[in-house]
């Protein structure tokens, strides 16, 4: 993080810009402070950044020894903060990743393709990228969207087109031959109607000839 160039875009080459709103600085700092108070260790950053150019800059921050007891795990940061959590097994990784109310996107970094496929299938997120981050937004053929409180529905891809359309279920007479509801199924319901319906359901869905009859 010490080599990360933080400034406004007008300064030319840069790695990271400013936050959007003044209040966001206080939100990020409150979450970082809460994590530190509950045992997180500051590896880098951890405070607003003073630069030659005035602006809402926050130092690129890395926190280690983070746990789910900290607010920063359960609340959106919208700031340059990376959280490091210890784990022993992939099952524990999945449990920790899914133990949050958000589920927009996930990234998995590993050289084992079998492992990454299993993790991607188990993590609860609308998108998952292996050995990269955020590139799904640039792939217009892929559906974009999240799960849990990170949203519902999708845009982009075939799924996005379906979201923008209205699906209508229409039932008509087959082959254009008009049909009517059989009298046993009409109102008022006759005493023998329930037996007929039960027999029809058994004939249609029971397994095996002898069960059907």
Can you give the pLDDT at residue 197?
A: 83
Q: What is the mean pLDDT of residues 175-199?
A: 80
Q: Which residues contact 44 (CB under 8 A, 6 or more apart)?
A: 1, 2, 59, 60, 61, 62
The conformational region for residue 211 under phi > 0 = left, psi -120 to 50 = alpha, else beta, is: alpha
Does the structure show a pLDDT above 70 at 1? no
Looking at the DSSP assignment, which residues form a beta bridge with residue 82?
A: 62
Q: What is the mean pLDDT of residues 126-146?
A: 91
Q: Which residues contact 32 (CB under 8 A, 6 or more apart)?
A: 42, 46, 47, 61, 63, 72, 81
| Residues 11/53, Cβ–Cβ less than 8 Å | yes
Instruction: Please state at what angle helix 113-122 crosses helix 90-98, rounded to 10 degrees.
Output: 30
Nearest alpha carbon to residue 203 among 195, 213, 194? 213
pLDDT tens for each residue of 36-73: 999 999 999 999 988 777 788 999 999 999 999 999 99
pLDDT tens for each residue of 76-87: 999 999 999 999
Residue of 8 and 92 predicted with greater confidence: 92
Residue with tokens 């923008």: 164
Residue of 111 and 8 predicted with greater confidence: 111
């Amino acid at each position: 993080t010490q080599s990360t160039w933080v400034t406004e875009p007008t300064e030319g080459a840069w790695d990271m810009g400013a936050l959007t709103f003044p209040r966001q600085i206080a939100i990020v700092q409150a979450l970082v402070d809460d994590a530190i108070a509950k045992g997180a260790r500051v590896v880098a950053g951890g405070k607003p950044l003073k630069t030659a150019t005035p602006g809402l800059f926050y130092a690129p921050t890395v926190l280690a020894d983070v746990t789910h007891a900290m607010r920063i795990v359960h609340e959106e940061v919208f700031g340059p903060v990376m959280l490091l959590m210890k784990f022993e097994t992939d099952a524990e990784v999945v449990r920790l990743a899914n133990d949050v109310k958000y589920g927009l996107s996930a990234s998995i970094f590993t050289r084992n393709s079998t492992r990454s496929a299993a993790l991607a299938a188990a993590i609860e997120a609308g998108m998952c990228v292996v050995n990269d981050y955020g590139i799904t937004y640039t792939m217009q053929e892929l559906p974009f969207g999240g799960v849990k409180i990170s949203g519902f529905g999708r845009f982009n891809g075939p799924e996005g087109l379906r979201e923008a359309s209205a699906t209508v279920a229409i039932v008509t007479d087959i082959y254009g031959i008009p049909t009517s509801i059989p009298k046993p199924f009409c109102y008022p319901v006759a005493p023998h109607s329930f037996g007929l319906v039960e027999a029809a359901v058994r004939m249609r869905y029971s397994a095996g000839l002898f069960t059907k009859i």
